[in-house]
């Protein structure tokens, strides 16, 4: 039974991100490099969060303290990787001019890859210990723990991976166009969804809905905004017969 739990939760959390990687990134070595670079930047933000958490001894037991600064560090490093790629844009275009890649011709593709890199690394660290625990020994619920802890953790991990992907597109576009309210939306929504996760520390099954529902509403808004700033067209959706084809304009 523990094996079923492990694979069920793993596929719930990582199935969609893995499909995105295989379908949109795996065939392009340049995209893979950018994905790894963005994942490394997320790791740097985690490192700084860990250093701060270790240094401030009186607040080590306060989850909210570490969480707030972790979110802030992640957004700072999202901005830093934007600056790095923006400054190196001309050089990277020349470096990859012989490669069959559109990543530097369309900045929204670049933002999507960076966002997915952030999301994949965040998702890996969010769930890896939970998945390890799901293999046993023992079963949840004997001592009053919510029996759906594992699947809820997987659902929230999926949400955060997709949110980071959407936030990457919105964040980069807002800086390119000077639409700074969108930058604020990314930071505030990231902080909001992360703070909602504090409710899960009470290990009450009745509070899980209060975390999941608002988080997925934020995800819906974020995806809609990301598609809009990337040039998503309702006409393209209609042209596809409602089958989900969304026309995205490439901005040279």
pLDDT, tens only, 91-137: 777 766 666 676 777 889 999 999 999 999 999 998 888 888 777 66
Burial class (CB in 10 A: 0-12, 13-18, 19+), 48: middle
Contact 158, 12 (CB under 8 A): yes
Tell how far CA 187 is from the center of its chain: 13
Report if residue 133 sits inside a domain.
yes
Element spanning 115, H or E: helix 107-134
Report if residue 244 sits inside a domain.
no
Report if residue 193 sits inside a domain.
yes
243 — pLDDT class (breaks 50, 70, 90): very low
Is a pLDDT exceeding 90 seen at residue 169? yes
Ranked by mean pLDDT, the top range of 102-111, 187-196, 207-216, 238-247 is 187-196
- In this prediction, residue 246 carries a pLDDT of 39
139 — pLDDT class (breaks 50, 70, 90): low
Mean pLDDT of 186-203: 86
- Tell me the residue range of the domain where 197 lies: 2-231
Mean pLDDT of 137-146: 57
Residue 32: CB partners within 8 Å, gap ≥ 6?
25, 26
Domain count, the chain: 1
Report if residue 111 sits inside a domain.
yes
Q: What are phi and psi of 247, to 5 degrees?
A: -80, 125
**CA gap 165, 236 in Å, rounded:** 22
Report if residue 251 sits inside a domain.
no
What is the largest distance, in Å, between two alpha-carbon atoms of the chain?
61
Cα–Cα nearest to 15, from 155, 113, 114, 126 = 155
242 — pLDDT class (breaks 50, 70, 90): very low
Report if residue 59 sits inside a domain.
yes
- Report the percent of the chain where pLDDT is more than 90: 51
Is a pLDDT exceeding 80 seen at residue 245? no
Element spanning 233, H or E: strand 232-233
Is a pLDDT exceeding 70 seen at residue 29? yes
Beta bridge pairs of residue 233: 247
7 — pLDDT class (breaks 50, 70, 90): confident
- In this prediction, residue 83 carries a pLDDT of 94
Q: Specify the residue for token string 């969804």.
A: 193
Beta bridge pairs of residue 232: 248
Report if residue 250 sits inside a domain.
no
Q: Which of 136-140, 182-186, 198-202 has the lowest mean pLDDT?
A: 136-140
Contact 172, 186 (CB under 8 A): no
Is a pLDDT exceeding 50 seen at residue 67? yes
**CA gap 117, 164 in Å, rounded:** 8
- In this prediction, residue 220 carries a pLDDT of 96
Calculate the CA dihedral of residues 59, 54, 191, 231 and round it to 10 degrees. Answer: 170
Is a pLDDT exceeding 50 seen at residue 155? yes
Average pLDDT in the chain: 83
Taken as a whole, the chain contains a residue count of 252
- In this prediction, residue 133 carries a pLDDT of 75
């Amino acid at each position: 039974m523990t094996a079923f739990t492990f694979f069920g939760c793993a596929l719930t959390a990582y199935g969609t991100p893995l499909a995105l990687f295989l379908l949109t990134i795996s065939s392009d070595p340049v995209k893979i490099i950018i994905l790894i670079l963005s994942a490394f930047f997320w790791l740097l933000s985690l490192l700084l969060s860990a250093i701060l958490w270790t240094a401030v001894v009186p607040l080590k037991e306060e989850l909210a303290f570490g969480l707030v600064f972790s979110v802030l560090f992640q957004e700072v490093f999202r901005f830093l990787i934007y600056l790095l790629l923006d400054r190196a844009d001309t050089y990277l275009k020349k470096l990859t001019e012989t490669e069959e890649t559109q990543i530097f011709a369309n900045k929204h593709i670049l933002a999507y890859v960076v966002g997915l890199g952030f999301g994949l690394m965040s998702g890996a660290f969010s769930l890896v210990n939970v998945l390890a625990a799901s293999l046993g020994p023992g079963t949840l619920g004997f001592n009053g723990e919510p029996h759906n802890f594992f699947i809820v953790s997987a659902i929230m991990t999926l949400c955060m991976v997709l949110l980071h992907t959407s936030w990457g597109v919105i964040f980069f576009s807002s800086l390119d166009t000077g639409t700074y309210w969108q930058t604020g939306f990314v930071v505030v929504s990231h902080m909001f969804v992360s703070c909602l996760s504090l409710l899960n520390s009470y290990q009450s099954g009745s509070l899980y809905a209060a975390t999941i529902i608002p988080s997925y509403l934020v995800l819906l808004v974020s995806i809609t905004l990301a598609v809009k700033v990337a040039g998503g067209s309702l006409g393209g959706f209609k042209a596809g017969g409602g089958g989900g084809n969304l026309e995205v304009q490439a901005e040279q």
